[in-house]
Amino acid sequence: EAAVTQSPRNKVAVTGGKVTLSCNQTNNHNNMYWYRQDTGHGLRLIHYSYGAGSTEKGDIPDGYKASRPSQENFSLILELATPSQTSVYFCASGDGGINQDTQYFGPGTRLLVL
Amino acid sequence: QQQVRQSPQSLTVWEGGTTVLTCSYEDSTFNYFPWYQQFPGEGPALLISILSVSDKKEDGRFTTFFNKREKKLSLHIIDSQPGDSATYFCAGRGSALGRLHFGAGTQLIVIP
């Protein structure tokens, strides 16, 4: 069974503070993703990675940085958190197969920026 | 610009009924279309997927249809059950492997 874990599961941050969301996968997948989920917008891609050391911008990268130090770990960094970044964040991993391109999601992190 | 549009935003059906969710997409290079199911408090999980070379794929009570000419796809759930109550997302993938574009989701409630 694919396994993606996220920490913390819940986070309260202050405006202007730094927030780091962590993700670990034991699937040995090359690809990892960070999404945010907001009502009416579905899942929006923030950053993704094709392997250790690589990061790519998704559809809404402004205000976020990403780091992929190893195959297993992928972090999302909010250097200066703002209330508009209050959301639920999901990490996912996948192997990017041609005919079956399944992404396995973690349980999510609820972030509240005050 | 939203690449994938999904409707309805929410839907309520009676137990035993048939649920139909629909999506449309813009990019004609999209060739892979998964549907994800998400229960409250959990991450989404793959439910069923279809490649653009097919027009129908079935998995138990769930069937997805694909219409390349109209750039539309749909998810049909027959004999809907209260346990099917969840949010459903369609998505599309183009030439960039692993890069999915998700719709806004449909919240389904199945009433016993």
One pLDDT digit (tens) per residue for chain B, 112 residues: 678 999 999 999 999 999 999 999 999 999 999 999 999 999 999 999 999 999 999 999 999 999 999 999 999 999 999 999 999 999 999 877 778 999 999 999 999 9
Q: A71 and A51 in contact (C-beta within 8 Å)?
A: yes
User: Residue ranges of the domains in chain B?
Assistant: 4-111
* CATH number corresponding to A4-94+103-113: 2.60.40.10
Tell me whether B42 touches chain A (CB under 8 Å).
yes
Q: How far apart are alpha carbons A102 and A5 in whole angstroms?
A: 17
In degrees rounded to 5, what are phi and psi of residue B95?
-75, -20
User: CA dihedral in degrees (B32, A59, A13, A70; nearest 10)?
Assistant: 60
Q: Are A92 and A102 in contact (CB under 8 A)?
A: no
Contact state of A102 with B34 under an 8 Å Cβ cutoff: yes
Please give, rounded to a whole number of angstroms, the shortest distance from the CA of A14 to a CA of chain B.
24
Nearest-CA neighbor of A93 among B3, B32, B44? B44
List chain A residues with CB under 8 Å of B105: 42-43
Shortest CB distance from A106 goes to which of B43, B49, B93? B43
Are A31 and A38 spatial neighbours (Cβ–Cβ below 8 Å)?
A: no
Task: Out of 3.30.559.10, 2.60.40.10, 3.30.70.270, 2.60.120.10, select the CATH number for domain B4-111.
Answer: 2.60.40.10
